Amino acid sequence: MLSDQLRSLAGDIDIYLFDQFLRGRFDARTRVLDAGCGGGRNLALLLAHGFDVFAIDGDAEAVSSVAQLFARLAPQLPADHVRQGHVDALPWGDGTMDAVISSAVLHFARDLDYFHRSIEEMWRVLAPRGLLFARLATSIGLEDRLETTIGHVRLPDGSDRFVVDERTLLETTDALGGRLLDPLKTTNVQNQRAMTTWVLEKVTGSNGRS
């Protein structure tokens, strides 16, 4: 079946991230970090096609699962490419990554300071012209249904998430010295939750917030 063939090719990759691959955004960005990788749902395609992949997550079980995925699909990659740790304190050097993926991670931030520290760390490890792909819960389109548009909220679907608004994402883009590769794209799931795709390019020489 076609669905089985596609899953064999791409695994359970986030469809919005898959769109970035289809549009050529990763063609010349082969050194990729998944910051908050979870069980590795977004890594199978990268590993199977020779990317130099790095991954980090705070959950030991997730890290173990991803290490096994690396061993199976890309045994040539060093074991220390998979680390247990937190996205606000990444163990890699400045400018070492061509792309950073942050899929369904930032809405688990403890507070706004942690949110900014995490983004700044992901930005720090990006090389010039590097790409930051983030998908996160926001208050965009749900403003009249939430107690606050920035901070921890109970969403109409019953989940508790840290959300930010459109202004915060745009101001953060400017503060980083980044450039939006796409307009902010938000999926409103029947007014129960909103997920925004935020894709930035690191303009040459930009260092982020001072």
Per the structure block, which two tokens stand in for 127? 């090389």
Domains of the chain: 2-202 (3.40.50.150)
In degrees, rounded to 5, the angle at the alpha carbon of residue 128 between the alpha carbons of residues 126 and 131 is 55
38, 42, 48, 51 alpha-carbon torsion, rounded to 10°: -90
Task: Report DSSP state, residue 107.
Answer: G
Residue 113 CA, chain-centre distance (Å), reads 18
- The model carries a pTM of 0.93
Q: Which residues of the chain have pLDDT under 70?
A: 2-11, 204-210
Q: 39-71 pLDDT, tens per residue?
A: 999 999 999 999 999 999 999 999 999 999 999
Chain position carrying tokens 């890309």: 74
The whole-number pLDDT of residue 59 equals 96
The closest alpha carbon to 120, from 207, 62, 30, belongs to 207
Per the structure block, which two tokens stand in for 194? 């909103």
Residue 86 CA, chain-centre distance (Å), reads 13
The whole-number pLDDT of residue 153 equals 97
Can you tell me the distance from the alpha carbon of 207 to that of 137, in angstroms, rounded to the nearest whole number? 26
Question: 90 near 117, Cβ under 8 Å?
Answer: no
The whole-number pLDDT of residue 25 equals 97
Distances (CA, A) of 156 to 139, 161, 172, 193, 206: 11, 11, 26, 7, 38
The whole-number pLDDT of residue 205 equals 59
In one-letter notation, the amino acid at residue 105 is V
